[in-house]
A and B are shown apart, each in its own frame.
Chain A
Amino acid sequence: QSVLTQPPSVSAAPGQKVTISCSGSSSNIGNNYVSWYQQLPGTAPKLLIYDNNKRPSGIPDRFSGSKSGTSATLGITGLQTGDEADYYCGTWDSSLSAGGVFGGGTKLTVL
């Protein structure tokens, strides 16, 4: 059971837009910055978004992030078959069990 809740899967056609949600609480998303990671099959996770909505160098602007209250959203526009991957949200949890936390991951299928 992950601290952050993501939908297990989402799908969309090439060229379309998709959003992936990440729900938490006031001890994590509500009071800390959110990051997003892309994990292509058989590879290590890769940082996509940090500080809620910033993209590292080299990440295309098709990827975007936002946060509202205790939820965060990853958006991907102009979907490509190469975007098929697992996507994870992450943040810091400031509760008594403080530590890094991740969502359970969302499998994106580009139909």
Chain B
Amino acid sequence: QVQLQESGPGLVKPSETLSLTCTVSGGSISSYYWSWIRQPPGKGLEWIGYIYYSGSTNYNPSLKSRVTISVDTSKNQFSLKLSSVTAADTAVYYCARTIVGATVNYYYYYMDVWGKGTTVTVSS
């Protein structure tokens, strides 16, 4: 079955750019949406944004000015860049396969496969 694995530096200095990659195995990245979600220590989940395999994106308005999500279909990977980080960006970062769509009346959006998560600490 499909598995996701996050990778990237576990420590980032304040004001620098956080960069993470999610590798998709056991299935193709095509035809799906892919999200990044984070969880600060002891807190709840925060949606960062998603990307469609074709490259279209949608970002959390509160992070939009600092976030870039990209996809590399040849490597079955998608990536997250978060610029100008501060201690408030310290969190476990998850990547997830995302189901997005709409019926006549309702919009559906959920994450059906998650990576194990990677801890990123912002500190000098």
Residues of chain A having any CB pair with chain B under 8 Å: 2, 31-33, 35, 37, 43-47, 50-51, 56, 88, 90-92, 94, 97-105
Contact = CB atoms under 8 A, between A and B. Distances in A.
Contact of B60 (A37, A45, A90, A99): A99
B107 A92 contact: yes
B94 interface: yes
Nearest to A4: B44
Contacts of B62: 97
B107 A31 contact: yes
A50 B108 contact: yes
A94 B58 CA distance: 13
Contact of A103 (B44, B60, B111, B113): B44
A94 B45 contact: no
A21 B109 CA distance: 19
Interface of B is mostly: strand
Contacts of A90: 45, 47, 109-111
Contacts of A46: 114
B93 to A, nearest CB: 11
Contact of A50 (B47, B58, B99): B99
Contact of A105 (B44, B94, B110): B44
Contacts of B50: 100
Contacts of B75: none
B61 interface: yes
Interface in B53-79: 58-62
A97 B47 CA distance: 12
